[in-house]
Structure 1
C-alpha cells in the first residue's frame, strides 16, 4: 500500500494597509481597509515571506488587535526576500533568483500555508514578490490573492483617465535631462494611443517630479496626482496641465510628502 501524498500548502498574497511609514498613532485600524476574510487568513498563517520583517511584525501586531494570531508573534516564521529583490526587483525571470524563491517555499511543500507580504499594498505589484509567485506556480502550489487596497487601481479609478487601457511604468529617471526625455516619451504614447501612463516616485522627490511634469508636458495633456490614498489626508486631483499651472491651489492641496501615484493621458 502506497504512502499517502502529503497535502501541499497554499501561497496567499496578503495585502496590507497603505499607511506604512506614516503615523500609526492616528492610523485607521486594519479592519477599515482589509476585509474580515483577509484578516482571518492573515491571523491563522504562521509562515511568511516578506519584503521587510520589521514591517511584517508591526502588521501582525495590528492584526492581533482585531483577530488573535494562531501563534505568538515571536514564534512566527518570517523570512525576508533576498536583498537583490529589494534593490532591483524580482519581476524578470533569473535562474538564481528563481532557485532562491523555490527554497523559500519549502514550508509550503511540507503542508504549511505561506503568506507573501510587502510593506504596503499588494505584494508583487510595484513591490517585490513576483519570483515567489512564479516559483509557486512552477511547484504546483495553489496561489490565492486576498482582497485589500492597491494604490495603483485606486488612483486610476479616481483620475478620470482611461481605465480600459493603461500601463504602470514604475519610476522615471532622476537626472533632469533623462527624466524630461522619458516624460515626453510617455506623453507621446498616451496621446497617440489613449493608454494612461502611471508612475510613482519616492515621496521626498514627489515635488521635483511634479515640477518636471508641469515644465515638460503639453498644456492640453491631462495630469492626475493621487497621494496618501486611504489615509485621512488622501487627495486626488486631475486637470489639464494648463490648469495645474494656472491654479496654484491644485498643487498646494496635494500631500506630496506621502506616497503618491502620478498619471497622465488624454
Structure 2
C-alpha cells in the first residue's frame, strides 16, 4: 500500500503586498516542494504562490477548488494525489487555513484517514487582534460572523455579553469589510457602557489599527471604519 503524502496548511497574507514580511522563508521552502494545492479561489491562490517567487512558473502546478460549497463526498477525489503519496497544500484566502475556513473539511478527512497534517506558521488575524487588545487572553471564544439581520445580530450580541460577564471570557468575531460600520453600530447600541470593545482593522497592513475602549467612550466620537478586514472583540465587566 502506498504511504500517503503530508497535508500542509499554508498561511496566506492578511493584507495585500505583505508576503515578504509575514511569510517565513521556511514556509516558502515547504511550498517549493509541493505540486498539488487546494484553494477557495484558484486565481488568487496562483497569484499568491507566484508572488512568493519559489517557482520559475506556476503553470505546471495543479490547483483544485475547496470552498464552502464543497461536499464531503468530493473529498476522496480532491485528495487523491495526497492518498497516492504526494504532498498537498491548502491555501486559504487570508490568514491561516482551517479556522473559519473551508480547509477544515480536508483536515478532518486527513485526520480520519490517519494522514499527517502539518500547520505552517503564519499570520492569524484572530490571535494578533487578541494579543493587541489587552482583553482576556486566557479565556476567549471565537464565533465567526454575527447574523446579517440587525435584530438577530443584536440579540446574539446581548447573549454573548451575558456569557462574557458571567465567565470573564473575551468574545471574538470577524465581519465582511462592507458591513464593518453596521456591526460596530450594533455593538454600540447593544453593549453596556462599561464593556470593553476592541476593533482591529487591516492587521499587518499599512492602515493597521487596534483600539480598545469602553463602549461609553466609543460613543463620544463618530467613527467610520474603512472597508478592510476587521476583527471585533469585547469583554463585559
Query: TM-score, normalization: structure 1?
Result: 0.85
Kept in 1, the 8 Å contact 2:164–2:170? The answer is yes
Q: Deviations over 1:83-109 (max 9, x none)?
A: 514xxxxxxxxxxx3332232111012
Aligned to 2:198: 224
In 2, Cα distance between the equivalents of 1:217 and 1:82? 34
In 2, Cα distance between the equivalents of 1:83 and 1:168? 19
In 2, Cα distance between the equivalents of 1:196 and 1:125? 17
Greater than 4 Å deviation, 4+ residue runs: none
Kept in 2, the 8 Å contact 1:47–1:77? The answer is yes
Aligned to 1:257: 227
Kept in 1, the 8 Å contact 2:67–2:103? The answer is no
1:207 and 1:167, CA in 2 relative to 1: closer, same or farther beyond 3 A?
A: same
| Aligned-partner SS, 2:99 | coil
Residue of structure 2 aligned with 1:138, choices 95, 101, 112: 112
Kept in 2, the 8 Å contact 1:48–1:114? The answer is yes
2:1 aligned with 1:16: no
Q: Indicate the RMSD between aligned Cα atoms, in angstroms.
A: 1.5
Residue of structure 2 aligned with 1:238, choices 212, 215, 223: 212
Gaps of 5+ in 2: none
Q: Deviations over 1:163-186 (max 9, x none)?
A: 111111111112121111111111
Gaps of 5+ in 1: 86-96
In 1, Cα distance between the equivalents of 2:67 and 2:125? 24
> Bigger CA drift: 114-123 or 71-80?
71-80
> What is the total number of aligned residue pairs between the two structures?
236
Aligned to 2:164: 190
> Bigger CA drift: 142-151 or 132-141?
132-141
